Amino acid sequence: MIDRDLAARLVVAAHRRVRDHREELSRLDSVAGDGDHGVNMATALAEAARRAEQGDHSTPADVMRAAGSAFHETVGGAAGALFGSFFGALAGQLSRSEEPDARQLVAGLEKGLARVARVGKSEPGHKTMIDALAPAVRAARESLDRGDDLEFVMATAARAARRGARATAAMRPSAGRARFAPDHSLGTEDPGANTVALVLESWAEQLSSEVRV
Amino acid sequence: MSIRTRRFLNDPARAVAEMLEGYVAAHASIISLQDGMVVRAAPKAEGKVGVVIGNGSGHEPAMIGWVGEGLFDVNVAGPIFSSPGPAAILRGIEAADRGGGVLLLVSSHAGDIINAELAIEEAEDEGMDGVEMVVLYDDVASASKDRITERRGGAGLFYVWKMVGAAAERGDSLEACAAIARKVRDRTRSLSAATGTVAHPVSGQPLGDPDDTTLSVGMGVHGEPGARLGEDVAADEIARLMIDRLADDADLPSGSQVGLLLNNAGSLTLMELSVLYRGARAALERRGIEAVRSWMGPYATTLDMAGFAFAICHMDGELLDLYDRPATGAGFTMVGRSPR
């Protein structure tokens, strides 16, 4: 079961993880972008974490919706819009249940993926966050259908996201700013895909630490 | 070769907010700050079309210097090189609404388009009618002509802002203003060139390879790389190469009349600009094309990039009339001419 407090802890965990990797994310972004991805994502997640901890949210959906708004309001850019849309779609799905569990979370990840693909008009192979998110969502769905619990589902998703992010190094970009110099970023992983992997890894770790206590 | 990493700022994370405060205070007769947005000090008359744009910062005077009579009603400045988010753009749309509809102009970059589309969706969800958006592009280096809608926005959008601003001020309808935006876009081409790169003020990361001193043609306004031209190329040669490419792309026949823009991307000297301008005029004359209007200076910069862009806009009577109408922005003014 995902309650309001757990949702808040997930947002806080995502912020810590991305903040600790922000220089690395900015460095990846500087190869074909403008070198501020890490700073922007850490800024947005800091605001999301602040809202999660301080806001009077009564449901996990409220927490995720506030996180989405934090992206839309604090950083902008393509990444801000897309991550904001992801959290917004996830919140929409979570709000459909009084007590969301692994099934709602996986359905929420699927909604998030669909929203990001629609808003960003991108597909797998374009060297974007989709290349980490799509395999992660697929792996989460398969894990859930095998009957795995929430912790295991998220760990499976996180591993798939990381593999997906690594695979972007061999891709030529066909979306966003990087597409104007398609060979320039060859050999470098996509920063947005890395952020997806970091967020899902932080969620997997948070869930596994909660099971142990 | 080193790039300048030391800047006269306080906390870099506060640089955009502090820039807006200072810039608006220095031009209080033209603009003011409202909810973090640059708005006209004296709002446009009721019933006219409001014109708004959201864009990343770091390109000044674009677009904070382009708010004023005959130009934009509202500019929503985002973080450095990042479009503002949908919530901020929506507030901009609401602030620009004078009862005649609102035209949201968008320079074609992934983040600008995505956030503008989300803002328009939210405006519709709130029941706002009469909000239109036009996506604008002009940079011939960014996509081939058969994929022209995939091109990105560059310095040539100068002409769109100027002429749409004049049309809205004149009292043209929302539909007419949007049509002007598309017409000017379709008749405008730009191409940029630069040497070296610049450092991002917040992250400190260079936008390109800091050791590369070759001249490149076709960079983007955020330092996206271009095609390398070489180390030692004369200004006349670069100007001719660029003007030929623009005129070819626009299929301009001999006898055409154009506006010629030379945009300083940041740190070029007036000496270099003037020499380049001279070369461009010669290149146009060689093709029998007349530069009937010219503008030279910093319009859309990339911080202190050592680069420039040429843009040409194929003029006709309608566009010349709009171009010549008065405009008063903190970073761009047009005294105006009497009708020809």
Q: Structural domain boundaries of chain B?
A: 14-186, 188-334
Inter-chain touch A75–B203, beta carbons under 8 Å: no
Question: What is the residue-wise DSSP string for B285-305?
Answer: HHTT-EEEEEEEE-SS--TTB
- Give the pLDDT score at B109: 93
Rounded to a whole number, what is the largest CA-CA distance in chain B? 58
Q: By CA distance, what is B77's nearest residue in A?
A: A76
Q: Which distant-in-sequence residues (6+ apart) come within 8 Å of B104 by Cβ?
A: B52, B53, B54, B89, B92, B93, B116, B119, B120, B131, B132, B133, B134
Class of domain B188-334: alpha beta
Inter-chain touch A80–B115, beta carbons under 8 Å: yes
d(CA A39, CA A148): 35
C-alpha atoms less than 13 angstroms from C-alpha of A190 in its C-beta half-sphere: 33
- Give the pLDDT score at A212: 60
Kindly indicate the confidence band of residue A65, based on its pLDDT and cuts at 50, 70 and 90: very high
Whether B299 contacts B309, CB under 8 Å: no
- Give the pLDDT score at A164: 98
- For the beta carbon of residue B227, count every other beta carbon within 10 angstroms: 13
Inter-chain touch B86–A29, beta carbons under 8 Å: no
Inter-chain touch A72–B87, beta carbons under 8 Å: yes
Q: Is A30 on the interface with B (CB under 8 A)?
A: yes
Which of A27, A71, A119 lies nearest to residue B205, judging by beta carbons? Answer: A27
Nearest to B34, CA basis, from B84, B92, B85, B81: B92
Q: Is A135 on the interface with B (CB under 8 A)?
A: no
pLDDT tens, residue by residue, A139-157: 999 999 999 999 999 999 9
Q: Is B202 on the interface with A (CB under 8 A)?
A: yes
Inter-chain touch A77–B222, beta carbons under 8 Å: no
Q: Is B83 on the interface with A (CB under 8 A)?
A: yes
Q: Active-site residue B109, yes or no? A: no
DSSP conformation class of A203? H
With a cut of 70, say whether residue B103 has pLDDT above it: yes
Average model confidence (pLDDT) for chain A? 93
Q: What is the ipTM of this complex?
A: 0.84
- Give the pLDDT score at B297: 97
- Give the pLDDT score at A204: 97
Q: Return the CATH architecture of domain A4-212.
A: Alpha Horseshoe (1.25)
pLDDT tens, residue by residue, B194-235: 998 898 888 777 887 878 888 889 888 787 777 778 778 899
- Give the pLDDT score at A75: 83
Q: CATH classification of B14-186 is 3.55.40.20, yes or no?
A: no
d(CA B275, CA B288): 20
Catalytic residue, candidates B109, B200, B222, B314: B222
Q: Which distant-in-sequence residues (6+ apart) come within 8 Å of A83 by Cβ?
A: A41, A44, A68, A71, A129, A195
Q: What's the gap in Å between the CA of A156 and the closest CA on chain B?
A: 30
- Give the pLDDT score at B339: 56
Please tell me the total number of residues recorded for chain A in this structure: 213
Whether B276 contacts B235, CB under 8 Å: yes
Whether B281 contacts B291, CB under 8 Å: yes
Kindly indicate the confidence band of residue B251, based on its pLDDT and cuts at 50, 70 and 90: very high
Three-class SS state of A194: helix
Q: 105-134 in B: which are within 8 Å (CB) of A?
A: 109-111, 114-115, 117-118
- Give the pLDDT score at B177: 98
With a cut of 60, say whether residue B239 has pLDDT above it: yes
- The pairing of beta strand B307-314 with beta strand B215-217: unpaired
d(CA B130, CA A164): 42
In percent, the amount of chain B with pLDDT more than 90 equals 81
* Distance spanning both ends of chain B, measured CA to CA: 50
With a cut of 90, say whether residue A208 has pLDDT above it: yes
Average model confidence (pLDDT) for chain B? 94
Residue range B170-187: average pLDDT? Answer: 98
- Give the pLDDT score at A98: 85
Phi first, then psi: give them for residue B72, nearest 5 degrees.
-85, 150
pLDDT tens, residue by residue, B119-136: 999 999 888 989 999 999
Phi first, then psi: give them for residue A189, nearest 5 degrees.
-70, 155
In percent, the amount of chain A with pLDDT more than 90 equals 78
- The pairing of beta strand B290-297 with beta strand B257-264: parallel
Inter-chain touch B203–A181, beta carbons under 8 Å: no
- For the beta carbon of residue A54, count every other beta carbon within 10 angstroms: 10
Residue range A37-52: average pLDDT? Answer: 94
Residue range A19-48: average pLDDT? Answer: 90
Q: Active-site residue B222, yes or no? A: yes
Q: Is A28 exposed, middle or buried (0-12, 13-18, 19+ CB in 10 A)?
A: buried
Q: Which distant-in-sequence residues (6+ apart) come within 8 Å of A205 by Cβ?
A: A13
With a cut of 70, say whether residue B1 has pLDDT above it: no
Q: Is A69 on the interface with B (CB under 8 A)?
A: yes
Task: Provide the residue type at B294 as one letter.
Answer: S
Weakest mean pLDDT among A201-205, A209-213, B45-49: A209-213
Inter-chain touch B207–A29, beta carbons under 8 Å: no
The reported pTM is 0.91
- Give the pLDDT score at A189: 95
Kindly indicate the confidence band of residue B144, based on its pLDDT and cuts at 50, 70 and 90: very high
H-only helix segments in A95-182? 102-120, 130-145, 150-167
DSSP conformation class of B95? H
Q: Is B12 on the interface with A (CB under 8 A)?
A: no
Inter-chain touch B220–A180, beta carbons under 8 Å: yes
| CA B30, chain centre distance (Å) | 19
Which of B85, B207, B222 lies nearest to residue A80, judging by beta carbons? Answer: B85
Burial code (b: 16+ CB inside 10 Å, e: under 16) for B75-112 equals bbbbbbbbbbbbbbbbbbbbbbbbebbbbbbbbbbbbb
- For the beta carbon of residue B182, count every other beta carbon within 10 angstroms: 14
Q: Which residue has the higher pLDDT, B99 or A98?
A: B99
Sheet holding B50-57, edge to edge: B31-34, B37-40, B74-80, B50-57, B102-107, B131-136
- Which chain B residues are closer than 8 Å to A30 by Cβ? 200, 203, 205-207
- Which chain B residues are closer than 8 Å to A32 by Cβ? 224
Weakest mean pLDDT among A5-9, A11-15, A182-186, B17-21: A182-186
pLDDT tens, residue by residue, B70-91: 999 999 999 999 999 999 999 9
Inter-chain touch B111–A76, beta carbons under 8 Å: yes
With a cut of 60, say whether residue A18 has pLDDT above it: yes
- Which chain B residues are closer than 8 Å to A72 by Cβ? 85-87, 118
With a cut of 70, say whether residue B340 has pLDDT above it: no
